[in-house]
Amino acid sequence: MLNLWEDELTAEEETALLNTLEKEIRKRKLEVPAIMFFEMHKPLANIAGHFALATSPFLVPIIGYKNVNDYSRLLSKRENVEKLIVRLEQKTDSKEDAKEAP
């Protein structure tokens, strides 16, 4: 049986996961839809984390055990979702400012 959520994420692990998630969102140029999605679902963050646990038998073969375990723990906390939103907004705002400057 899988031992999901056995340990809490450390601050370094949270930062690394947030960096990776932010990088993947930016690589696909999905900053605005991601911000909207996370803002709408922020109140349901804990439920979403538990839903990932419930569906882990289906998710693990697709995205891997470590990713399911790490990202479900990361996104189950509302403050981590807020950190991701702030990171995405900061860099999105600076890009918009750069476009308007010339």
Report pLDDT digits (tens) over 2-55.
677 888 999 999 999 999 999 999 999 999 999 999 999 999 999 988 898 899
pTM of the model: 0.82
- Taking only the tens place, the pLDDT of each residue in 50-94 is 898 899 999 999 999 999 999 999 999 999 999 999 999 997 666
Give me the domain span that covers residue 60.
11-97
Instruction: Judge whether 55 lies within some domain.
Output: yes
Is the pLDDT score of 1 beyond 60? Answer: no
Instruction: Copy the structure tokens of residue 58.
Output: 């289906």
* DSSP codes of every residue in the chain: ---TT-SPPPHHHHHHHHHHHHHHHHHTT-HHHHHHHHHHHGGGHHHHHHHHHHTHHHHHHHH-HHHHHHHHHHHTSHHHHHHHHHHHHHHHHHHHHHHH--
The residue type found at 77 is K
Instruction: Judge whether 102 lies within some domain.
Output: no
Number of domains in the chain: 1
